[in-house]
Amino acid sequence: MGTTNGSGVVGGGQVGCDYQFSGAWVVGVGGQFEAANIRGTSGATPFAGGTFIDSKNPWLNTLTARFGYVVEPATLLYVRGGGAWSRDSLSTFASGAPPVLLATATDNRSGWTVGGGIEHIFLPNVSGFVEYNFIGLGTSTVVGSVPFTGAPFTVGSIRENIQEVLVGLNFRFGGLGGPPGARY
């Protein structure tokens, strides 16, 4: 069908824990849930003849471990990696005026993620971070159904990779202090 370069905005939350040892080394584990509005179209243009696929990604989840090093009392450089999950909603259309819906499908994906970032504690128990992640969700043949009849329809063999840049705030529970004696 071609290539889709979807784009959109994600927002969500995370929960996790970190342990700082041997002075400056940090290990942790965390889970993220992101509501997403990632959309794209592949194949022919809606009025050029042929077929095209509209794709929508409404959410992403990750469960990762992270490993980092504190470069000053309040700043952590880290890498992270682990599992990733996603859901896609796909609609296949025949081009025309108006386009004709041929099939719909949903596809739950699982894969992996790797990334890295920087986190800085700037208030007691509050830190900010900037992070890049690559999410590889593999290739699968997606089978949907034809509207009104429910007949199966092969949407296509779809490979999905997501790249994201996250910017956010963390609230840390416990007896943590902000700079100058910050600990992760």
Domain annotation for the chain: domains and CATH numbers: 10-171 (2.40.160)
pLDDT at 180: 47
31 has a pLDDT exceeding 80 = yes
DSSP annotation of 181 reads S
16 has a pLDDT exceeding 90 = yes
Distances (CA, A) of 176 to 22, 73, 119, 161, 173: 17, 12, 15, 37, 7
Mean pLDDT, residues 21-46: 87
**Quick one: which of 63, 96, 112, 92 has its CA closest to 158?**
92
Q: Residues 53, 91: contact at Cβ < 8 Å?
A: yes
Q: Which residues of 69-81 are buried (b: 16+ CB within 10 A; e: fewer)?
A: ebeeebbbebebb
Mean pLDDT, residues 120-148: 92
Query: Model's pTM, two decimal places?
Result: 0.85
Residue 176's pLDDT band, with cuts at 50, 70 and 90, is low
